[in-house]
Amino acid sequence: MVRSGHAVKVILQRELAAYLKSPRGYVVAAALLLLAGVLFYAEALGPSAGERLSADVLARFFYNTSGLIAVAAVALSVRLFTDERQTGSMVLLVTAPVHEHQIVLGKFFGAAVFLTVLALATLYMPLLILVNGRVSWGHVAVGYLGLVLLGSAVLAIGIFASALTRNTLSAAVAGGVLVGTMFLFWPLSFVVDPPLSRVFAGLGLHGRHFNDFQTGVLHLRDVVYYLSVTYFFLLLATKTLQTRRWQ
């Protein structure tokens, strides 16, 4: 048996190297940075930006970037198992003396590190606000924590979708539908009656749980929510891989 941490680290390093060597990693990074920059310019610097409090501009930046991070997380995660199955390399992992949860965690952390680096690459925009306006470092730090937690939850959903099928397109559709549905829970919570509205608001990936992060307020319940979603979908991915040994 391979030590749990060792196996996770080895798989994480391979995944990270794969992002850095493949055009896909750079395409996702370029698209995310370009769109984040365009949106920031339009909302904060452009001719139609108007007068706004710097804290509002920062909150708006985190709101826009959260959507981009979610899309990037789906794009990065849905290929994690489908590519392995298509090339046949999955056999190496499933015949190695490692648990399924070590495989899932290695891939998850590899993607999470890459996504965190992408998120931090947008840091120059909050710094511009920080230099020219009046916002706190705490607001910036909490906003980025929210982006990383949201990104992690979406990565976990994408990894689960990827474990379900050997076709990347099918995994992308499944992952997109799952993430989209969980994003829609928040607006749906306004059009249904209680107690369903409270359930939808509580389950929504965005809205109630991200609003406080974007305004710089840290609530333990929001952190627990994102960690729970991440754990739940990573567990489902692990169980899916285990089930495949019986099929």
Partner 1 sequence: MIRAFGVQKWFGGKRALGPVSFEIARGETVGFLGLNGAGKTTLLRILAGELRPSGGTLEVGGTDAMREPLAVRKLVGFLPEFPPLYPDMTVRDYLRFAGMVRGMDGATLQGRLEEVEALVGLGPVREELTRTLSQGFRQRVGFAQAIIHEPELLVLDEPAHDLDPAQIVEMRSLLHTLEGRHTILLSSHNLPEISETCDRLFVLDAGEVIASGSETELASHWLDTQQVEVALRAAANDLAPAVQRLRSIEAVRNVTVDERDGNGEGPVLVVECSDDCRAEICRLLVEDGWDMLRLVRSRRKLESIFLGLVHGTERTRRQSHSAA
Q: Which residues bind partner 1 (CB under 8 A)?
A: 1-3, 6-7, 10-11, 14, 17-18, 21-22, 87-99, 245-247
Q: What does the H/E/C string look like for 107-176?
A: HHHHHHHHHHHHHHCCCHHHHHHHHHCCCCHHHHHHHHHHHHHHHHHHHHHHHHHHHHCCCHHHHHHHHH
Q: Smaller CB distance to partner 1: residue 8 or 229?
A: 8
The 8-class DSSP code of residue 217 comes to -
Q: Smaller CB distance to partner 1: residue 102 or 189?
A: 102
Q: Smaller CB distance to partner 1: residue 52 or 244?
A: 244
Q: Smaller CB distance to partner 1: residue 136 or 243?
A: 243
Report helix angle 23-40 to 100-120, nearest 10. 40
Minimum separation from the CB atom of position 111 to partner 1 (A): 15
Minimum separation from the CB atom of position 52 to partner 1 (A): 45
Minimum separation from the CB atom of position 9 to partner 1 (A): 9
Minimum separation from the CB atom of position 104 to partner 1 (A): 14
Cβ-Cβ contacts under 8 Å for 226 (sequence gap 6 or more): 149, 150, 152, 153, 209
Are 123 and 58 in contact by the 8 Å Cβ rule? The answer is no
